[in-house]
Structure 1
Amino acid sequence: MDESASLAQLAQRLKEVVGELRGIPVDVERLDDSELVRQQIAQAARTAGELRAMHPVGSPDTGRQEQQSRLSVLDELRRGMAMRTIIHSSVLDDPRKAARIGELHAAGDLHRVVDEPIQQLLVFDRAVAFVRITPVAHSPGALVIRQQSLITTLIDLFEQTWSRAREVSEPTHRLTPREREVLALIAEGRSNGAIARALSITEAAVGKHVASVFGKLELPATQDDNRRVLAVLAYLRGTAR
């Protein structure tokens, strides 16, 4: 099933949930105090056996706060909590955060990476979910959701995103939007001239983009390898993004 079909199914499920909830009290609490949100998250974590998490950006915490958060996660893993976390690829641009994620992944908090936009989400077991009130990084407050229909929908969203995500240990090469366009057309078997006509740019510009792609993918010119084919293979595997 392609991504558009999956998203269409999710949208339909959301409509069904809204219909089911009409006239039924919804168990959703709004917390504007970020400290209270942290307290409730810590309380849920103490008894939960499973955590699904999505993080669009890295933590804004100070070094000490981040260290405390890291130790808390490690404690929960030792206690036996199963954790899966989806992060946005931009988080890995910070070497310190990338190292922390690598440590947690090795300890059992399994991480996957996406390039698509995601929102902050924590789901403990199938009992309670925390969603940021406004979809803006580091904005205060959260919605605390205990309504089962909504939690089921959020879990569906997580699982669909997880299935599309790549392993955090999988090498990824960040390409510009134009480089991705050029690589996609190379994957269609087009020559530099055909790519130039398709993108309304000069053939010389295409050559520069192709050279940049080869450089980022660490594909040196050799007599034994076809760099265009190797670049396409990286594109199809999802490691060239």
Structure 2
Amino acid sequence: MEESGSLADLARRLEEVVGELRGIPVDVERVADNALVQPLILEAAGTAKELRAMHPLGSTDRGRREQRSRRDVLDALRGGLSMRTIVHSAVLDDPVKAARIRELHAAGDLHRIVDEPIQQLLVFDRTVAFLRTTPVAHAPGALVIRQQSVIAALIDLFELTWERAREVTEPAYMLSPREREVLALIAEGRSNRAVADALSISEAAVGKHVTSLFAKLELPATDDVNRRVLAVLAYLRGTAR
């Protein structure tokens, strides 16, 4: 309920911003050519102290462009730029991109992961933002935004997404809704029979769900650990999703 309330508050704020902008000049420039966008980004990065970035699935480069981008980020970090980046979880399916993300995270470009769709966004300080013109990966052009009310709303969107995102170093345990229900009841100290009674399913079905979530949590059967306790700890830490 708290999260949906936050989203509703953000939606109302965006509506207020749009209302304020009607009939007044807005400092938003549409740049259709990517070749013209890149110099503007480099110019903003040259003086900025803070960068918030969101990268959707398919938005990262490969080959020489990716290597150059990686070097630019590392140089910026060494120069004192504070960076936080949100990426789509599917990016981690590519071993090369996953390794690059973890390297940058360790170097100080803090990354978090989300499973829901996000848009390409760069916000330098509270001064200028770059937003992809159309919400499609690799689409050309960007909106260059210097209107302070719009930038404030974009920052609110970033921060709300950041709070919901998980750390890049956290394992992405994708439990099914039923498995999450079973694990929540186990965390209350209930036996498999008690879980079955609570969910109106058979005890054998509970056993299958428990076996599945143990596998997803990478908890092998050994004499040295109690897998139910470890699963509950993962649930309480928020790493079992």
TM-score, normalised via structure 1 length? 0.85
The answer to whether structure 1 residue 184 and structure 2 residue 188 are counterparts is no
Please say which of residues 214-223 and 186-195 is displaced more in the overlay. 186-195
For 1:126, the equivalent position in structure 2 comes to 126
Please list the CA deviations of residues 192-215 of structure 1 after superposition, one character each: whole Å capped at 9, or x if unmatched. 465474xxxx87666444322211
Note the C-alpha offset of 1:184. 2.5
Report the Cα offset of residue 58 of structure 1: 4.7
CA distance in 1, matches of 2:211, 2:35: 50
> Would the aligned equivalents of 2:37 and 2:141 in 1 still touch at CA under 8 Å?
yes
Unaligned runs of 5+ in 1: none
Q: Secondary structure at the match of 2:83?
A: strand
Closer/same/farther in 2, CA of residues 213 and 13 from structure 1, 3 Å limit: same
> Given residue 234 of structure 1, which amino acid in structure 2 is its aligned partner?
A
Cα separation, partners in 2 of 1:36 and 1:185, compared to 1, 3 Å: same
Query: Identity percentage over the alignment?
Result: 71
Moved more, 134-143 or 228-237: 228-237
Rounded to whole Å, the distance in 2 between the matches of 1:53 and 1:34 is 17
CA contact (8 A) 1:183 1:232 kept: no
CA drift at 1:112: 1.6
Indicate the residue corresponding to 2:108 in structure 1: 108
Aligned residues: 234
Q: Equivalent residue of 2:113, what SS?
A: strand
CA deviation profile, 1:177-199 (whole Å, cap 9, x unmatched): xx2432234314562465474xx
Give the residue type in structure 2 aligned to 1:187.
A
> 1:90-105 maps to which residues of 2 (within 5 A)?
90-105=90-105
CA distance in 1, matches of 2:147, 2:20: 11
| TM-score, with length taken from structure 2 | 0.85
Distance 1:52 1:112 in 2: 11
Residues 94-132 of structure 1, C-alpha deviations (whole Å, 9 max, x = no match): 221111111111211111222232211100111111111
> Gaps spanning 5+ residues in structure 2: where?
187-193
Contact 1:183–1:231 (Cα < 8 Å) also in 2: no
Change beyond 3 A, Cα 1:98–1:62: closer
Alpha-carbon displacement from aligned partner over 1:77-101 (angstroms, at most 9, x marks no partner): 1221111111122222222111111
Q: Distance in 1 between matches of 2:68 and 2:223?
A: 52
Please give the alpha-carbon distance, in whole angstroms, between the structure 1 residues aligned to 2:200 and 2:130.
47
What SS is found at the alignment partner of 1:191? helix
Offset at 1:43?
1.8
Q: Which residue of 1 aligns with 2:48?
A: 48
Post-superposition shift, 1:142?
Answer: 1.3
How far has the Cα of 1:10 moved from its partner?
A: 0.4
Q: Is the 8 A contact 2:58 2:138 kept in 1?
A: no
Q: Which deviates more from structure 2 when the two are superposed, residues 106-115 or residues 2-11?
A: 106-115
CA displacement, residues 149-203 of structure 1 (integer Å, 9 cap, x when unaligned): 000000111112222222222233234xxx2432234314562465474xxxx87
The answer to whether the 8 A contact 2:87-2:111 is kept is yes
| Contact 1:183 1:210 (C-alpha < 8 Å) held by counterparts | no
Q: Alignment RMSD, CA only?
A: 2.4
Residues 96, 170 of structure 1: CA spacing in aligned structure 2 closer, same or farther, 3 A cutoff? same
1-side partners of 2:4 and 2:195: how far apart?
Answer: 29
Offset at residue 138 of structure 1 (A):
2.1
Letter in 2 for 1:49: K
